[in-house]
Amino acid sequence: MRPIANTRSAAGIPTGRLAVWWVVASEIVIFGGLLASYVMHRLAHPAWAEQAMHTNVWAGGFNTLVLLTSSLSAVLAHKAAEEGDGPKAARLLGYTMLGGAMFVVVKAFEWTAEIQAGYTITSSTFWSFYYSAAGLHGLHVIGGVVIMGFVAAAARRNEELHRVELIGIYWHFVDIVWIFLFPLLYIAK
């Protein structure tokens, strides 16, 4: 049962979208705090550049491509949902989920290689940041995929189609975090 409160829109923005924007805002400051801490440390320790050489730029670059593509299908899913085509939106969300899953799989191989090469989370503070920041982001990817599963299941039955847009906003946010993480952790030498 949905309260009347939920159906009102005094601010002119649908309640769900407003709430997701607030979620994104509070997440931005979490990642902002983590990345600002990393950047401050990085500037104080030029020697970390040598550590950063051992990250796999190709794997990171491929993952960037995967995430960006998955965001595209999220946008198309939103468009389908706007047109009222629930099954199509669900199928497109499925592609996005596939992209998220591929991102995590690539990450797993990448990390395995790095850990086997001896670069573990306690090797140095660079690697601590590397695993913590990317790990926190990875949890957001996994969480996003799981929620997207529920949204897609409902969309297939043409229910709660407005949620397709909401999960899309969240997914773009996760995507943008990676756009910051990738150059900071992989490319900056």
Partner 1 sequence: MATADITTDAHHHHEQTFWSKYVFSTDHKMIAMQYMFTGMFMAAIGGFMAYVFRMQLAFPGMEVPLFGLVGPNDYNALITNHGTIMIFWVAMPVLIAAFGNFLIPLMIGCDDMVFPKINRLSYQIFLLSAVILLISLAVPGGGFAGAWTAYPPLSAQAQYSGTALGSTLWLVAVALEFVAFLLGGINFVTTAMNSRAPGMKMYDIPMVIWMIVIASVLFMASVGPLIAGAIMLFMDQVVGTGFYDPARGGDPVLWQHLFWFFGHPEVYVVLLPALGITADIMCVFARKKLFAYRTALWTVFGTGILSFTVWAHHQFVAGIDPRMAHIFTVTTLLISIPIAELCFIYIATLYGGSITLSTPMLWALAFVAEFLIGGVTGIFLGASGADIYFHDTYFVLAHFHYTFFPIAIIGTFAGITMWFPKMFGRYMSEFWGKVHFWGTVIPFNIIFIPLFFLGTIGQHRRIYDYTNFPELSLPWMQDLRQLATVALIVMLLFQFIFLINMFYSMFRGKKAPKNPWRANTLEWTTESPPPHGNWPEGLPEVYRGPYEYSTPGRDEDYWPQNVPS
Residues forming contacts to partner 1 in the complex (CB under 8 A) are 1-11, 13, 15, 18-19, 22-23, 25-34, 36-37, 40-41, 44-45, 48, 121-122, 124-126, 128-129, 132, 136
Least distance between partner 1 and beta carbon 99 (Å): 26
How far apart CA 115 and CA 60 sit, in angstroms, is 16
Single-letter amino acid code for the residue at 173: F
Give the nearer residue to partner 1 in terms of CB position, either 48 or 103.
48
Helix (H) or strand (E) holding 185: none
The contacts of residue 62 (CB under 8 Å, 6+ apart) are 106
> Which of residues 1 and 116 has its CB atom nearest to partner 1 in the complex?
1
Consecutive H or E run containing 118: none
CB of 82 to partner 1, least distance (A): 19
Work out how close the CB of 98 gets to partner 1 at its nearest, in angstroms, rounded to a whole number: 29
Instruction: Give the shortest CB-65-to-partner 1 separation in angstroms.
Output: 27
| Distance from C-alpha of 33 to C-alpha of 35, rounded to nearest angstrom | 6
- Write out the two tokens for 98: 């596939």
Q: Are 174 and 140 in contact (CB under 8 A)?
A: yes
Q: Which lies closer to partner 1 via its Cβ, residue 61 or residue 84?
A: 84
Q: How far apart are CA 137 and CA 132, in angstroms?
A: 8
CB of 106 to partner 1, least distance (A): 23
For the chain, give the longest Cα–Cα distance.
Answer: 58
Q: Select 27 or 85, whichever has its Cβ closest to partner 1.
A: 27
> Based on CB atoms, which residue is closest to partner 1, 54 or 88?
54
